[in-house]
Amino acid sequence: MQPLRFDPQLRRRWLVLLGVLVAAAVGAAFAWAVIPGDDGIITACYHKSNGALRVIDPSVDRCRKTETLLSWSVSGPPGQPGSPGTGGTVYADRIMPDYPNGPPGLALPKDQFLEILTLDIPEAWRVLPNEPVTVVTTSLDVMNKSNVRVGLNCNAGNGSNFVWTIEPGVRDSVSFTAYATMTTVALHCKASQAWGPPEGVVWDVQLWRATVAASKADSISHSLPPTP
């Protein structure tokens, strides 16, 4: 009777097969366990005696009789808005329907100032006894559909007026920087005929977007921009 012989090649094949099966089982376990869940909730089981905590997927696992179920969200509920800080920037933005392709925009009447928007300045920005000092940057997107050249006149801040000329049929983006020592900044604009025949004027000036950004100035001596 011949002694039994163990084939080394057969042994390697069994080891490879066993490794594949173990890897597949581990991969399936990871595929099944979804932590946190689709709703963003993390679920865990807390052992009542030793305090051990284990995180589970409640769709494939559950707590034992010796454990207590716990759950919490990945992100908590939003908190209350904070008070304005001592720095940063505040914005006011007015966008007309169908921007950026327009029209219709906001029609600017001829030779009449129109209030476009207002922006409240945080009280925390006060560096003078009774007033905040703020640098104000304003941007405008305007379309001149008139048959005449138009002069656009705007102001925001302490009464400084800024004027641009816009040719007939031209859409233009303009901006200016001023300063303010009031608690509310108001942007006003008007359009006037700059050039063209006095008769047969077709007036159509549209404002498509206006943005006002205000930032706190450290002091009135070195923060004021140069006057154009």
Provide the pLDDT for residue 167. 92
The pTM of this model reads 0.55
Q: Are strands 184-195 and 149-155 parallel, antiparallel or unpaired?
A: antiparallel
Provide the pLDDT for residue 224. 37
Domain 89-216: CATH architecture, name and number where available: Sandwich (2.60)
d(CA 77, CA 64): 30
Provide the pLDDT for residue 46. 92
pLDDT tens, position by position, for the chain (228 residues)?
A: 445 454 555 556 555 555 555 555 545 444 455 677 777 788 999 998 888 989 998 888 889 999 999 988 867 677 777 665 556 788 788 887 766 665 668 888 889 999 998 888 877 776 555 566 778 888 989 989 899 999 999 988 766 688 889 999 998 999 888 877 777 888 899 999 887 777 788 888 988 889 988 887 764 443 334 433
Provide the pLDDT for residue 106. 87
Domain locations in the chain?
32-74, 89-216
Q: Which long-range contacts (CB under 8 A, 24 or more apart) does 194-203 make?
A: 194/148, 194/149, 194/150, 194/151, 194/165, 195/148, 195/149, 196/146, 196/147, 196/148, 196/149, 196/168, 197/148, 200/147, 201/146, 201/147, 201/148, 202/146, 202/147, 202/148, 203/110, 203/146, 203/148
